[in-house]
Amino acid sequence: MRWSGLVFVVACSSPGPTPDAAVLQPTANASREVVDTALAVDYAAMTSVATITLGPSDAPGASLEAAGLMIDAVTVDGAPVLFTPPSATQTLDLALPASADPTVVAIAYHWMDHEGFQGISSKGYTLDWPYYCGNVFPCHSQPSDGTTFSLSLANTPAGKTAVFPATIPSQAPAYQLAWSIDDYTQLDVGTTAAGTAISVWYRPTEMAAATTGTQHLVAAFDWLETTLGPYRFGPHYGSVSVKWGPGQFGGMEHHPFVHIGSSAIGDEDTNVHEAAHGWFGDGIRIECWEDFVLSEGTVDYLAARSLDVVAPSVGASVWATYANELAALKGTDLVWPQSCGTIDVLKDKLFTNAPYVRGAYFYKGVADNPNVGAAKLDEALAAFYAAHAGGSAKMSDMLATIHDVTGYDPTACAQTWLTSTTLPTPAPCP
């Protein structure tokens, strides 16, 4: 992503007699992983059925985030399952036995609109980053968690086009799934050498901006595929202009059809930045929110690096923008906190320009070292993607990979750019 409350009180349970001590009771078990999520959404009725495949577990129960949903029923193979409503516990806890095999649970629910980028907007789009997926579907929002997806979206407004992926075939973070419904025209802008079709969806009066913003997108995407490795989220990728509202400049990595705020659809950096999340942030998930820089700093660098190659004047303009953003930072802005699982990415103010820009300059400092060079760093990024694609990783893993592939120890460079409270000046790292 790049960009410069309702409370439900619900008392639902599955039908049947009052359970006694012999009946399995809802049990919290957040470690039971979500393997696959299939959503069948009736948009007009504001209802959905989530068919969720849960992984094996040595312990009973399961827990899903669903604080913004009204749960109607939970079943396994058509048989009702007892559950504790999320309004009572903040999670949807299920009465499931321990199992050595996956368990498929069907959860029928109602949803309501949530504005402020916290779920399903009445304006026709979804955005639930970083941890509001429980306002859209039962989920696990930790960034390291991954699930494959399928989505059907029925009864959308007449005369509008719904843009969404029918499937996300590779494990993805919960916030990756999204839709947008608007008066769209699809413009196909080209195909990469690997066969990935690239499109842009724009709204009335936006054709010129959409064309400008994506004029080098095919070439940049081709560079990403060629340099880093295969794209994991299907044969069709695109940018979708979304009416987020005044002042909302940027995008969101809803691969394979990323959302770009309508004010930014003409910005090449934003379009390529979101594309690069197909490799870092989505293609490789971050282990903790503290590793946010592994997603955003890496992607900021890759946007500038790919445009440097395919459109040098645009790449130079991107670096000039980064320099201005760097100058506006405070040295004390968080970039890479040295913990895991203790930082709230929003409340602890990790979501600032600092991880983006200082992260990008960390990589540039490594690339500009005369003993490394940009091409050798490309090899390290490709090796990292080959090792971690489809899973999660930490920024410390990236430092180790750079050292292993290039022979250069980036520890001091990382201290300068990622942990120091002194704002550095761009320069090759020694």
Give tens-digit pLDDT for 356-391.
999 999 999 999 999 999 999 999 999 999 999 999
Triad 291, 363, 380: Cα angle to 5°: 85
- In CATH, the architecture of 28-172 is Sandwich (2.60)
Give the CATH class of 289-419: mainly alpha
Confidence of residue 247 (pLDDT cuts 50, 70, 90): confident
Give me the DSSP letters along 29-60: -TTS-EEEEEEEEETTTTEEEEEEEEPPBSSS
CATH class of 185-276: alpha beta
Q: Are 234 and 167 in contact (CB under 8 A)?
A: yes
CA distance 415 to 401: 16
> Locate tokens 């004047």: which residue?
313
pLDDT-based confidence at residue 88 (cuts at 50, 70, 90): confident
The percent of residues above 70 in pLDDT, for the chain, comes to: 95
Least confidently predicted of 6-15, 150-159, 175-184:
6-15
The contacts of residue 191 (CB under 8 Å, 6+ apart) are: 197, 198, 218
Percentage of the chain lying above the pLDDT 90 cut: 92
pTM confidence score? 0.94
Average pLDDT score over the chain: 95
Phi–psi pair at 89, nearest 5 degrees: -130, 0
Amino acid at residue number 249: F
pLDDT confidence bin for 293, thresholds 50/70/90? very high
pLDDT digits (tens, 9 = 90+) for 95-123: 999 999 999 999 999 999 999 999 999 99
- What confidence score (pLDDT) does residue 246 get? 83
Enumerate the domain spans of the chain. Answer: 28-172, 185-276, 289-419
- Average pLDDT (10-18) is 41
Q: Smallest Cα–Cα separation from 238: which of 180, 170, 174, 304? A: 180
Domain pair 28-172 / 289-419, same fold: no
**Beta strands 285-286 and 250-252, pairing class:** unpaired
Q: 89 pLDDT exceeds 90?
A: no
Q: Give the model's pLDDT for residue 20.
A: 47
28-51 pLDDT, tens digit each? 999 999 999 999 999 999 999 999
Which pLDDT does position 248 carry in this prediction?
Answer: 86
pLDDT value of position 208: 98
- What's the pLDDT band for 22 if we cut at 50, 70, 90? low
- Any idea which of 18-32, 155-169, 314-328 has the lowest mean pLDDT? 18-32
